[in-house]
């Protein structure tokens, strides 16, 4: 029970979502065409950042087996369990080990003889569930819009939306991966759309519709 008391699989302790819309100043020009071209612009942006999801370090492929949890070691460099920014060796595997028998007599009495001494696969390790956390997530979307009055009842709106402007991969942890028997623990690219942009132009009647906000359209990140 003690080893199962840990963070929920969906735990995200810190989440930041910030959005901004700015109506750009309208220039004062004597030309009507100039005012139509340079006026009515607005900028919008959405920035999202959150911590990574927790995951477990296991021996084998089954995190539901209580005997899959390893022993957490202490020593130099073991105060933190991951290498931030290192995709190919994200988990510090030197901080974990398969549980071992304290003595030969203990091994002969309680451990599975299929594994050599002092390895004892039927001992519970002290590394609790979801002891690790995957890398965090960052994303930035940007839009540039122009609203133009054509007649008293008809407006047009031009929208240029840019998604995933940072254009960098977001990684997820090596969930349920045998990180003890395999050197390192590779992080995998989070599924999602790549950097892209949309251009849209529409017209609408002011009596029946209203313009869209300046922030980019929300997409699945």
**Cis upstream peptide for 118 (omega within 30°):** yes
Domain ranges of the chain: 2-71+129-205
Mean predicted confidence (pLDDT) in 113-138: 84
Burial class (CB in 10 A: 0-12, 13-18, 19+), 168: exposed
Confidence of residue 192 (pLDDT cuts 50, 70, 90): low
CB neighbours of 32 closer than 8 A, spacing ≥ 6?
none
pLDDT score at 180 = 52
pLDDT (mean) for 163-171: 85
What sign results for the dihedral spanned by CA atoms 199, 205, 206, 207? negative
Percent above pLDDT 70 for the chain: 76
Is the pLDDT at 145 greater than 90, yes or no? yes
The per-residue pLDDT for range 200-221, each reduced to its tens digit, is 888 877 655 555 666 676 555 4
Higher pLDDT, 186 or 99: 99
Single out the residue of 43, 46, 216 nearest to residue 145, CA to CA. 43
Report the pLDDT value the prediction gives residue 14, as an integer from 0 to 100: 94
Inform me whether the pLDDT recorded for 126 exceeds 60. Answer: yes
In this predicted structure, what is the pLDDT of residue 77?
A: 77
pLDDT at 139: 92
- State mean pLDDT over 68-85: 80
Q: How many CB atoms lie within 10 A of CB 202?
A: 12
pTM over 0.95: no
Mean pLDDT of 15-37: 83
Q: What pLDDT sits at residue 190?
A: 64
Q: Output the pLDDT for position 89.
A: 79
Q: Is the pLDDT of residue 188 over 70?
A: no
For residue 186, give the 3-state DSSP assignment: coil
């Amino acid at each position: 029970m003690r080893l199962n008391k840990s963070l929920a699989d969906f735990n995200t302790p810190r989440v930041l979502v910030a959005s901004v819309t700015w109506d750009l100043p309208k220039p004062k020009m004597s030309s009507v065409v100039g005012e139509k071209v340079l006026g009515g612009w607005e900028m919008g942006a959405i920035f999202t950042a959150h911590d990574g999801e927790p995951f477990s370090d296991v021996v084998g492929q089954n995190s539901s087996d209580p005997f899959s949890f390893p022993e957490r070691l202490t020593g130099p460099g073991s105060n933190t369990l991951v290498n931030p920014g290192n995709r190919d060796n994200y988990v510090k595997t030197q901080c974990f080990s398969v549980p071992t028998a304290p003595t030969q007599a203990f091994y002969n009495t309680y451990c599975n003889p299929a594994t050599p001494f002092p390895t004892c696969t039927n001992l519970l390790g002290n590394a609790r569930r979801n002891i690790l956390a995957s890398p965090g997530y960052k994303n930035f979307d940007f839009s540039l819009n122009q609203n133009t009055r054509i007649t008293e009842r008809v407006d047009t709106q031009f929208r240029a939306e840019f998604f995933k402007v940072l254009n960098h991969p977001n990684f997820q942890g090596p969930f349920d991966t045998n990180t003890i028997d395999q050197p390192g623990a590779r992080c995998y690219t989070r599924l999602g759309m790549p950097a892209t942009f949309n251009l849209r132009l529409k017209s609408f009647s002011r009596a029946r519709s209203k313009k869209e906000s300046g922030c980019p359209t929300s997409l699945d990140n």
